[in-house]
Amino acid sequence: MSPRRVAVLMGGASSEREVSLRSGQAVGAALEQAGYAVTLVDCSHDAAALIAALDAARPDVVFNALHGRFGEDGCVQGLLELMGLPYTHSGVGASAAAMDKAFARQLFQAAGLPVAEGRVVRRGEPAPLPRPYVVKPLNEGSSVGVHIVGLTSAEDPLRDWPFAGDRVLVEQFIPGRELTVAVMGDRALGVLEITSARGFYDYDAKYAPGGSCHVMPAPLPAEDYAKAGHLAVAAHQALGCRGVSRADLRYDDTRPGEAPRLVLLEVNTQPGMTATSLVPDIAAHAGLSFPDLVRWMVENAQCDE
């Protein structure tokens, strides 16, 4: 029996194109190692060209390795639904909800999950919070366009407005440690701590060689480690995610005399998928090799039509 055919979508035209190309190449190699017949599809915003490429490849399953707009926000998911092709990661609704940071935090709050104080600000409005605070574009990933405004920061992104849209999310800065949790199906695979000499896990810290260090498992008290996993699964479920996702959290252990607190930042429905990315790193510690991880994702791909 011949291997199942898998089309890997990668590239795209978002600000995360290069990251997606790396994810797609790594996923394709791992799927071939796992015994699948793989076609790599470098995507653009041309829906007709993507449909033609998929028609030519005739895949049984689509592995979505796209990041950013079009690939992560429900658009390509809707196209795949119309074509009746099972695909990895979350469906249309969960993808769109997670990509909209303001809407996602509303869903988290409705589910009783801890988020930082914050609100959406329009161009020209003053900061709604005292410093330090974080300014985030509403629909970007990989920390693209994120600004931390410290107590003595000279920059003022709300004044200079380097953003493409007319609205941004402003949230209280949560001190402490950076955690990320991989969720596979209905369980947390593990909690990883990220450290960076840059002081902020920005785009360069994520992807530049030596930009960050992964500490797996995160050195937390057992109770807090378990709580971080439960929180990530609850966020995954609050958005209606499926397959694999990754939740980013802050662990604030900086308050003398007070218990540490966990704060949910966001959920990434299309996490990086190179062999050394965060989710594969966590999965490896849980005893799941990269080929086994992507095989599970392919075997659990769905189409909601």
- The residue ranges of every structural domain in the chain are 5-89, 98-114+175-269, 118-172
Catalytic residue among 105, 177, 246, 250: 246
Per the document, the length of the chain is: 305
For residue 59 the two structure tokens come to 């895949």
Distances (CA, A) of 192 to 32, 96, 252, 275: 28, 26, 15, 15
pTM over 0.85: yes
The Cα 42–Cα 170 span in angstroms is: 34
The pLDDT score that the predictor gives to residue 211 is 55
Q: Is 246 an active-site residue? A: yes
The pLDDT score that the predictor gives to residue 164 is 87
Q: Is 15 an active-site residue? A: no
Q: Is 281 an active-site residue? A: no
The Cα 163–Cα 295 span in angstroms is: 38
Fold equal for 5-89 and 98-114+175-269: no
Q: What is the pLDDT of residues 71-115, one digit of tens each?
A: 999 999 999 999 999 999 999 999 999 999 999 999 999 999 999
Catalytic residue among 14, 20, 142, 277: 142
Catalytic residue among 14, 64, 212, 268: 268
Q: What is the pLDDT of residues 250-275, one digit of tens each?
A: 999 999 999 999 999 999 999 999 87
Could you report the average pLDDT of every consecutive run of 10 residues in the chain (305 residues)? 84 90 97 97 93 97 94 96 97 96 97 97 96 92 78 92 94 97 97 79 47 91 98 98 98 96 97 92 97 97 84
Residues 6+ apart with CB under 8 A from 278: 180, 182, 192, 194, 214, 246, 271, 272
Q: Is 133 an active-site residue? A: no
Catalytic residue among 16, 193, 224, 281: 16
Q: Kindly tell me the number of DSSP H helices and DSSP E strands found in the chain.
A: 10, 12
| Domain 98-114+175-269 in this protein, CATH class | alpha beta
The pLDDT score that the predictor gives to residue 203 is 44
Q: Is 207 an active-site residue? A: yes
Catalytic residue among 72, 171, 248, 281: 248
Catalytic residue among 36, 87, 207, 251: 207
Q: Is 248 an active-site residue? A: yes
CATH of 5-89, one of 3.40.50.20, 3.40.50.800, 3.40.367.20, 3.30.1480.10: 3.40.50.20
Strand order in the sheet with 213-215: 213-215, 187-195, 177-184, 244-252, 261-268
Catalytic residue among 17, 193, 272, 281: 272
